[in-house]
Amino acid sequence: MSITMVTISVDIESIDGDNELASRDNQRLAQALEYGIRNSASIEELATICCQSVSTFKRKFRARYSMSPHQWLLIHKLELAHRIIEAKEIPISELTKMCGFNNTSHFIHRFRTRYGISPSRLGKMLRGTKAEDTNTPDELDKEPL
């Protein structure tokens, strides 16, 4: 059995200035976002990690990334899921938890909306296996990837 690790790295645009405060803010933001991707963290938790109020965190985040923290996290959680599916076969319930989703149905719906294919079908397609004609899409989503 081989274990494949998928790493998370968050690219943070540098805050204006090269001073120590800006560097510390960048480090806190990177830590918060990495934590947010792997967990179902609230915006309040992310703001706390960044030592900011929720309103300040949201305002600065939107100014930097032109989207809300929630939108950013959703996109990056789904990208992580896609990378994991490419790297290894994994049960959908485990993938859901690894990517910080609490609900498998919600995860599958979001994944399908973003990529136009369910996670299990993508896994089968990447591995060259063909789904049996008797399986419904819901049954395919319950099988390991």
Q: What is the pLDDT of residues 41-86, one digit of tens each?
A: 999 999 999 999 999 999 999 999 999 999 999 999 999 999 999 9
Q: Are residues 53 and 97 in the same domain?
A: no
Query: How many angstroms separate the CA atoms of 61 and 118, rounded?
Result: 30
Q: Which of 66, 82, 102 is the last residue of a domain?
A: 66
Task: Give the residue carrying structure tokens 């939107």.
Answer: 62
> ∠90-133-82 over CA atoms, to 5°?
30
Q: Say how many C-beta atoms besides its own lie within 10 A of residue 100's C-beta.
A: 20
Write out pLDDT tens, residues 6-19.
555 555 444 444 45
- What Rg do the C-alpha atoms of the chain give, in angstroms? 18
Write out pLDDT tens, residues 82-141.
999 999 999 999 999 999 999 999 999 999 999 999 999 999 999 887 554 444 555 555
Q: Are residues 78 and 32 in the same domain?
A: no
Burial (CB < 10 A; 0-12, 13-18, 19+), residue 61, is buried
> ∠10-13-18 over CA atoms, to 5°?
120
Give the structural domain span for 127.
72-142
- pLDDT value at 5 more than 50: no
Q: Are residues 91 and 133 in the same domain?
A: yes
Q: Are residues 33 and 84 in the same domain?
A: no
